[in-house]
Amino acid sequence: MNVKKLVHKAKKQNKKALLQLVMQQKDDYYRLAYSYMKNPHDAMDVMEEMIIILYEKIEQLENIESFYSWSKTILVNICKRKLKKQQKELLVDDIEIHSNTTQTTDPYKYKAETMDIEQLLTSLNPNQAETIKLKYLHDLDNATIAKITNVSVGTVKSRIHNGLNLLKWSYGRQDK
């Protein structure tokens, strides 16, 4: 069934239609959540929370063609909120509690190349790194990235351009 029909059904509180929409891009959602949360358990938690919010707020979706960018924006916002909360907990709680988290084998685990890219991105400011990840690791277009990060398309382009130039310069790959 096509996306438009499923969104129309989901807007009528059809849970199966909503789950079908989510399942059609479950891997993309998971990778996006995992890139923020950095562990499989938290990634799954934020995905579950996203599904609940989608169900509760789907009637607010005006442009049915933008369901996936809308839902990914919601997912990213949940991730950011959860990470901010975890950061606050780190300041209050004993750091040892959070450092004992063990990661299980993850069938979606990043490949070695992706881990290298993650390491490279640490040299950028967080906004540039986030924008470049969304563009190149999650293959999102600039307009979707702008919605997710709540900035203009021009700012997205600027962050990508400046971030890539900084990476080139930092690692001696700048054209001379």
Domain that holds residue 136: 110-176
Residues 119 and 99 both lie in one domain: no
Residues 16 and 94 both lie in one domain: yes
Per-residue model confidence as pLDDT tens for the chain (176 residues): 689 999 999 999 999 999 999 999 999 999 999 999 999 999 999 999 999 999 999 999 999 999 999 999 999 999 999 988 877 655 544 434 444 444 444 544 445 555 566 777 888 899 999 998 888 888 899 999 999 999 999 999 999 999 888 888 776 654 44
Give the number of domains in the chain: 2
**Boundary (domain end) residue, out of 109, 143, 161:** 109
Supply the CATH number for residue 149's domain. Answer: 1.10.10.10
Residues 119 and 104 both lie in one domain: no
Residues 87 and 47 both lie in one domain: yes
Residues 83 and 119 both lie in one domain: no
Supply the CATH number for residue 82's domain. Answer: 1.10.1740.10
Q: Which amino acid is at 115?
A: M
Residues 103 and 50 both lie in one domain: yes
Question: For residue 49, what pLDDT is reported?
Answer: 95
Q: How many helices (H) and strands (E) does the chain have?
A: 10, 0
Residues 62 and 119 both lie in one domain: no
Residues 68 and 8 both lie in one domain: yes
Question: For residue 104, what pLDDT is reported?
Answer: 46
Residues 51 and 129 both lie in one domain: no
Q: Which amino acid is at 118?
A: E
Question: For residue 173, what pLDDT is reported?
Answer: 53
Residues 131 and 69 both lie in one domain: no
Question: For residue 172, what pLDDT is reported?
Answer: 66
Question: For residue 117, what pLDDT is reported?
Answer: 67
d(CA 67, CA 112): 32
Residues 116 and 172 both lie in one domain: yes
pTM over 0.85: no
CA dihedral 87→91→93→99, nearest 10 degrees, is 60
Residues 59 and 146 both lie in one domain: no
